[in-house]
């Protein structure tokens, strides 16, 4: 099973849905974005993955063009406090869920 496309060229054209996720794309059933996108794909829809877009600029959101049916938006797998701070409330130096 190939990975889901992360840009329009990989998709081979327009997609039905663009899934916008706050986490890195991990194609594994322990990640909600993977489950939802694969269920949609199994039902015959095409899905493009837009993970960790730069929300300060609209260019990332134009990678796939206008989706046929819509955007699906998810915040991510981990709460932002857990992702950014340690148990001692010190800022983390590395995000383990980002490339």
pTM for the predicted model, two decimal places: 0.78
Torsion angle, alpha carbons of 19, 25, 30, 34, to 10: 30
Higher pLDDT, 91 or 16: 16
**Does residue 94 form part of some domain?**
no
**Does residue 99 form part of some domain?**
no
Using the predicted structure, report yes or no on whether residue 94 has a pLDDT greater than 80. no
**Does residue 7 form part of some domain?**
no
Report how many domains make up the chain: 1
pLDDT tens sequence across 35-62: 999 999 999 999 999 988 888 889 999 9
**Does residue 90 form part of some domain?**
no
**Does residue 26 form part of some domain?**
yes
Please report, rounded to a whole number, the percentage of residues in the chain having pLDDT higher than 90: 51
The whole domain housing 52 covers: 13-84
């Amino acid at each position: 099973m190939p990975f889901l496309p992360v840009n329009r060229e990989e998709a081979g054209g327009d997609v039905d849905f663009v899934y916008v996720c706050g986490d890195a794309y991990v194609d594994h059933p322990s990640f909600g974005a993977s489950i939802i996108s694969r269920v949609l794909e199994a039902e015959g829809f095409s899905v493009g993955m837009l993970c960790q877009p730069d929300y300060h600029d609209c260019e990332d959101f134009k990678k796939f063009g206008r989706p046929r049916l819509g955007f699906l938006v998810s915040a991510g797998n981990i709460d932002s406090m857990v992702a950014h701070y340690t148990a001692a409330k010190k800022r983390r130096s590395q995000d383990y869920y980002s490339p």
